[in-house]
Structure 1
Amino acid sequence: MKHGTFVSRSLPALGLLALAFAAFRGPASAQQQTVDPALYSGLRWRTLGPFRSGRVDAVSGVPGRPHEFYFGAVNGGVWKTINAGRTWTPVFDSQPVASIGAIAVAPSNADLVYAGTGESTLRDSMGYGNGVYKSTNAGNTWTHVGLADSHHVGRIAVDPRNPNVVFVAAIGHLYAANAERGLFRSRDGGATWQNVLHKNDSVGAVDVAIDPSNPQVVYTSLWNTRRPPWFTYAPSNGPGGGIYKSTDGGTTWKPLTNGLPADSFGRSGIAIAPSSPRIVYAVIDAKEGGLYRSADAGATWTKTTGDTRVWGRGWYFEKVAVDPKNPDIVYVPNVGIQRSKDGGKTFGTW
């Protein structure tokens, strides 16, 4: 059994699992809706383990299976629980790589799982991967499906209606330029890939989100980063980063710039409000970094907060999730898990 080489508390599995629960929880029953929240006031979060998998930067719930979750450790492989976290099983140990950057379960097929290898938390000590893997039996077995030279994967998004349409945000090599970076799309379940958004050999993609109401609408964020040997902490942000939108399923793209920062645009994360898809959030590492909100599907943006507790250390964090029922409830995992109930204007830990 493989175990993580590096251990850190900076990005706990518990925080990412909370976001996965928020994203995949099903409709509440009438009885649940009438329960007084004060009854839960004494409950506190607790660590569910496992304790030897290393840092965690990828997690996914499973639609229709509320007790089933996956997480990927940066050097500990993929782990799975079917009992809401009471016990965990490593399901990726037979593969030749242990660094995981992204996990996605197909919304229309709960047994179909994609894992992107190579962590996205690009610190001074990190592990790289060898592309994308696919499981058609809920993680029991895996098949390598390509993008072997992508090294680091920031996010995988699967079409909500067609499990064979999948996007991979490939960051690329951390220490040098390489061609296999940018946003990739497969229309045949990973058998073949097309690089649908490639600026140059230094600019990769770090996040991608598909509109749940219209899968022809796709957002992605690009990031030009490099970690020279003389950098011991944060990597550099180069030119070419930004947020892009496609309205034809990823074939053509246009940059979104109205209201977004232009100077030193680094890593960014994107989330679409499931209950109101024209509302889009982006947490951005930049000179004018912060959380940005669009109410018109990305045409214009407003900075809701510049609180560094939300976007600070952006090269390492910069992920965001929206409550499936309330577009004003937003979660951002950073050193602490930040939650906003007013559309991103104010945040607090929980």
Structure 2
Amino acid sequence: MTTQDRAWAATRKGLFELRRRGGGWQIENLSFLADPVTMLLPPDASGHMLAGLNLGHFGAKLHASDDAGRTWREVAAPSFPPQPAGAEGPEWKLQQVFALERAGDAIWCGSVPGGLFVSRDKGESWQLDEMLWGDPRRLQWMGGGNPAPALHSICPYPGRPEELLVGVSCGGAWRTTDGGRTWGLRAKGMRADFMPPELAGDENSQDPHLIARCRAAPDVLWCQHHCGIFRSEDNGASWVETQAQPSSFGFAVAAHPADPQTAWFVPAVKDERRVPVDAALCVTRTRDGGKSFDVLRTGLPQQHCYDLVFRHGLAVDDAGEQLMMGSTTGGLWASADAGDSWQTVSAHLPPIYAVKFG
């Protein structure tokens, strides 16, 4: 598997394309100047890719490219059916495209407010997964950082195009094995210490910030939860908590594509502050399934740093060698040695919502 030499940063002021040149990264193209790009789906072999935008008063939009991002065209964004009178829960209106993933011939989209949509024509049209949306347990979901619940993680199971595990903040983890016709909770062992003690283990009240799957060992899943770091070795049937220093709180997690023992996290101070511990940015890495963690700081700012890395702000390439990380303060860093050391790509981009290799 070759090292990837192309990446994207989705930011509050546009979508930046980056190329790896001579050991470093350079910004080579900017699309959607001044528009907030909340999520992107990197190009497939044909060059098809998607970008989700949040245009405020004008709503959430979706654009497609057929030439790997050189040109774009607007396509239909996912939409909810008319909301029945008196229906409980948040307004049935797309607020944000929060996740985009391919699984076989399908593309799946997660949204705020907590919807899951599927497209079988490369994003030209979308259908709401009505079974998950109609599950009465959905009405117990709560907003985390958003007023409404957010479906932010979509983890396809390699070789099983009908199987997905999704993560909801706050609504736990859910799995389907039949393309969304039936769903079951998959958050046993997670702990929500913001709930009353008798409800701390309630699967439907959990706040996973992001869930990532090891592609080569797909029964292994990693979760950066609001209340800690959790790992599953049985495809989400059960989860075990692990502790990291300097903090087990954060938003991002990247799972090594080939090594189920390795994952990366970006620790922060919990809850109201949400800044790096001691104002010094670092990445933590485990190589033994969460038993111990390396604290990786070389090349990252270690004084007066208040950068926060959002859920989708950390990415690993297909070889498990390169990492890229973007922050709310517009810092963008890259590592070519699995996180041992970092180089600054830019210190002054707009706030970064997501980074992707492609």
Q: Same fold (TM over 0.5)?
A: yes
Corresponding position of 2:325: 332
CA contact (8 A) 2:217 2:259 kept: no
TM-score, length basis structure 1: 0.69
Corresponding position of 2:242: 256
State the identity %.
19
Corresponding position of 1:280: 263
Q: CA deviation at 1:320?
A: 1.4
Corresponding position of 1:176: none
Residues 13 and 256 (structure 1), Cα distance of their counterparts in 2 relative to 1, 3 Å cut:
farther
Structure having greater relative contact order (Cα 8 Å, sep ≥ 6): 2
Corresponding position of 2:230: 244
Any unmatched runs of 5+ in structure 1? 1-8, 23-36, 119-128, 173-180, 224-240
CA contact (8 A) 2:252 2:309 kept: no
Alignment of 1:286-325 (within 5 A): 286=269, 288=277, 290-305=282-297, 307=300, 312-314=306-308, 316=310, 319-325=313-319
Q: CA deviation at 1:211?
A: 1.1
1:166 aligned to 164, 167, 170, which one?
A: 164
Cα distance in 1 between the residues matched to 2:26 and 2:245: 39
Q: C-alpha offsets along residues 314-337 of structure 1, whole Å, 9 cap, x if unaligned?
A: 274663111222x34211122132
Q: C-alpha offsets along residues 274-296 of structure 1, whole Å, 9 cap, x if unaligned?
A: 25443311122236363111112
Corresponding position of 1:183: 173
Whose strand proportion is higher, 1 or 2? 2
Cα distance in 2 between the residues matched to 1:274 and 1:171: 24
Residues 252 and 94 (structure 1), Cα distance of their counterparts in 2 relative to 1, 3 Å cut:
closer
TM-score, length basis structure 2: 0.68
Cα distance in 1 between the residues matched to 2:44 and 2:245: 33
Cα distance in 2 between the residues matched to 1:213 and 1:42: 27
Corresponding position of 1:343: 338
Corresponding position of 1:204: 207
Q: C-alpha offsets along residues 170-206 of structure 1, whole Å, 9 cap, x if unaligned?
A: 113xxxxxxxx12222222122222211645664112
2:64 aligned to 70, 77, 80, which one?
A: 80
Residues 199 and 278 (structure 1), Cα distance of their counterparts in 2 relative to 1, 3 Å cut:
closer
CA RMSD of aligned residues (A): 3.2
Cα distance in 2 between the residues matched to 1:207 and 1:276: 19
Corresponding position of 1:55: 36
Any unmatched runs of 5+ in structure 2? 1-9, 81-93, 142-148, 196-204, 270-275, 346-358
CA contact (8 A) 1:182 1:199 kept: no
Would you say 1:117 and 2:117 are equivalent positions?
Answer: no
Corresponding position of 2:121: 137
Aligned length: 279
